[in-house]
Amino acid sequence: MDTPVDTKKSPIAAGLLGAIGNTPLIRLERASAATGCDILGKAEFMNPGGSVKDRAGLAIIQDAIARGTLAPGGTVVEGTAGNTGIGITLVANALGIRSVIVMPETQSQEKIDFLRMIGADLRLVPAKPYKDQGNYVHVSRRLAEENGWTWANQFDNLANREGHRLTTGPEIWEQAGGRIDAFTTSCGTGGTLAGVAMALKERDPNIRVTLADPMGSVLYSWKTNGTLEMSGGSVTEGIGQGRVPENLNGAPIDDALQVTDEEALAQVFDLTQHEGICIGGSAGINVAAAIKVAKRLGPGHRVVTILCDGGARYQSKLFNPEFLRSKNLPVPPWML
Ligand code: PMP
């Protein structure tokens, strides 16, 4: 064998950590044709752990190591809808760190199985609102306090949005050749929206940033009239909020819109069937939101959004006719 590759000077990624990010930016052909715009989706489902949250896992762990609050041999604990747990566990495995993942038991079986498969110490808890001390976020904080573990705290830890400001945002800018009219995405922690918005507005303050919110979340009302009202609910996972996480504080967001599950799933199924791009529910919300933004702007504009994770993570839910019927959602004919 020749001398080992210098990964800093070569396109070969340095292990798992080097393989996170640099995802393709895909032009969604049907949405683009329907609006006369360029609708571009950042294919975050192509990250090693299958979601945008690999980036947050990496950014948070690297920040904790740099601060001296986490080191190989240590333990990181996090409350998560699943994807952050996957990102954290993969990064932790690569660095010799132990991960403890607290997750509401309502999340998809596929995410639960994947977390077990990669060796996370998984603690499932009943789904409770944030104001209840049994909520998964509080359980993870208490576990950190009681055991002296490092709490990732993705909702309020600004290392999360900083990771997106330094990677996702600049990647989008470069890939789009600096020509972007609008950016929209939904929020769990808000790390993706805030970090990308900051990076894009630093480069061009005229880029319009729109928060896309599912039903049953307070963020639309927060951004639109400063109240924290919500109604309805959503089958999407990983997005929607009952409070305003620290990662959204001071983020340069221009406006917000709401997307229903019906609108989101129409995009999920359309992209899968006609473009071969199989995405999860939050990505469906984002594509539906990008189409609304494009219609408001009119033909000739370019709108960027995030394809957060892939449909395979929701086979037993969104791609299951029985589940759809149980939620009174339309079942596409090809699924029967
Ligand atoms: N989509 C999915 C599937 C997710 O798991 C998450 C994170 N919980 C998001 C979107 C939202 O990303 P962020 O936390 O950066 O707002």
Q: Do 226 and 318 fall into the same domain?
A: yes
137 CB less than 6 Å from ligand 1?
no
C-alpha pair distances (Å), 119 with each of 88, 89, 93, 97, 144: 11, 8, 9, 12, 19
Q: Find the range with the poorest average confidence among 2-11, 147-156, 158-167, 316-325.
A: 2-11
- Which DSSP helix (H) or strand (E) runs through 302? strand 302-307
Q: Do 250 and 180 fall into the same domain?
A: yes
φ/ψ of residue 115, rounded to 5: -60, -40
Nearest alpha carbon, ligand 1 atom 2 = 238
| Confidence check: pLDDT of 3 > 90 | no
The number of residues making up the chain comes to: 336
Distance 237 CA to ligand 1 centre (A): 8
Q: Do 27 and 56 fall into the same domain?
A: no
187 CB less than 6 Å from ligand 1?
yes
86 CB less than 6 Å from ligand 1?
no
Please report whether residue 334 resides in a domain: no
What's the pLDDT tens digit per position in 266-295?
999 999 999 999 999 999 999 999 999 999
Q: Which domain holds residue 81?
A: 52-154
Distance 83 CA to ligand 1 centre (A): 7
309 CB less than 6 Å from ligand 1?
yes
8 Å CB contact between 182 and 304: yes
Distance 53 CA to ligand 1 centre (A): 7
pLDDT at 277: 98
φ/ψ of residue 177, rounded to 5: 60, 30
Half-sphere exposure of 174 (CA within 13 A, CB side): 9
Per-position DSSP letters for 41-78, written without gaps between them: EEEGGGSTTSBTHHHHHHHHHHHHHHHTS--TT-EEEE
Of the three residues 154, 180, 204, the one that is the final residue of a domain is 154
8 Å CB contact between 39 and 291: yes
8 Å CB contact between 198 and 167: no
Q: Do 200 and 298 fall into the same domain?
A: yes
Chain center to CA of 118: 20
Please report whether residue 2 resides in a domain: no
Q: Do 109 and 212 fall into the same domain?
A: no
What's the pLDDT tens digit per position in 225-235?
999 999 999 99
What's the pLDDT tens digit per position in 121-130?
999 999 999 9
Q: Let me know if 111 is a catalytic residue.
A: no
Q: Do 45 and 57 fall into the same domain?
A: no
| Mean pLDDT taken over the chain | 97
Of the three residues 154, 188, 218, the one that is the final residue of a domain is 154
Please report whether residue 126 resides in a domain: yes
pLDDT at 317: 96
- Which DSSP helix (H) or strand (E) runs through 289? helix 281-297
Atom of ligand 1 nearest to the CA of 192: 15
Nearest alpha carbon, ligand 1 atom 11 = 188
- The residues with which 75 forms a beta bridge, in sequence order, are 98
Percentage of the chain modeled with pLDDT above 70: 100
pLDDT band at 8 (very low <50, low <70, confident <90, very high): confident
Q: Do 41 and 80 fall into the same domain?
A: no
What's the pLDDT tens digit per position in 165-212?
999 999 999 999 999 999 999 999 999 999 999 999 999 999 999 999
Strand 255-259 relative to strand 208-214, pairing = parallel
Distance 193 CA to ligand 1 centre (A): 10
Please report whether residue 162 resides in a domain: no
Q: Do 225 and 144 fall into the same domain?
A: no
Q: Do 218 and 69 fall into the same domain?
A: no
Q: Please report, as a single letter, which amino acid is at residue 27.
A: R
Please report whether residue 80 resides in a domain: yes
Q: Do 85 and 183 fall into the same domain?
A: no
Nearest alpha carbon, ligand 1 atom 6 = 238
8 Å CB contact between 184 and 211: yes
Please report whether residue 28 resides in a domain: yes
Distance CA 254, CA 233 (A): 24
Please report whether residue 184 resides in a domain: yes
| Confidence check: pLDDT of 1 > 70 | no
Q: How many domains does the chain have?
A: 2
- Which DSSP helix (H) or strand (E) runs through 79? strand 75-79
If you average pLDDT over residues 283-309, what whole number do you get?
A: 98
Please report whether residue 243 resides in a domain: yes
If you average pLDDT over residues 142-164, what whole number do you get?
A: 98
Distance 1 CA to ligand 1 centre (A): 42
Residue 96 DSSP label? T
Distance CA 293, CA 285 (A): 12
Look at the pTM and tell me if it is higher than 0.90.
Answer: yes
Distance CA 25, CA 179 (A): 13
Q: Do 32 and 177 fall into the same domain?
A: yes
188 CB less than 6 Å from ligand 1?
yes
Give the CATH number of the domain where residue 132 resides.
Answer: 3.40.50.1100
Distance CA 189, CA 79 (A): 11
Does the CA dihedral 320-325-330-333 come out positive or negative?
positive
Among the listed residues 8, 9, 42, 53, the single catalytic one is 53
C-alpha pair distances (Å), 104 with each of 238, 244, 309: 11, 19, 18
Q: Do 318 and 287 fall into the same domain?
A: yes
282 CB less than 6 Å from ligand 1?
yes
Helix axes 83-95, 53-67, angle to 10 degrees: 50
Nearest alpha carbon, ligand 1 atom 12 = 188
If you average pLDDT over residues 128-148, what whole number do you get?
A: 96
What's the pLDDT tens digit per position in 62-116?
999 999 999 999 999 999 999 999 999 999 999 999 999 999 999 999 999 999 9
Percentage of the chain modeled with pLDDT above 90: 96
Per-position DSSP letters for 204-243, written without gaps between them: -TT-EEEEEEETT-SHHHHHHHS-----S--S-SS---SS
User: What would the two tokens of residue 168 be?
Assistant: 């996702």
57-73: string of b/e by CB count within 10 Å (b at 16+)? bbbbbbbbbeeeebeee
Of the three residues 154, 181, 199, the one that is the final residue of a domain is 154
pLDDT at 175: 98
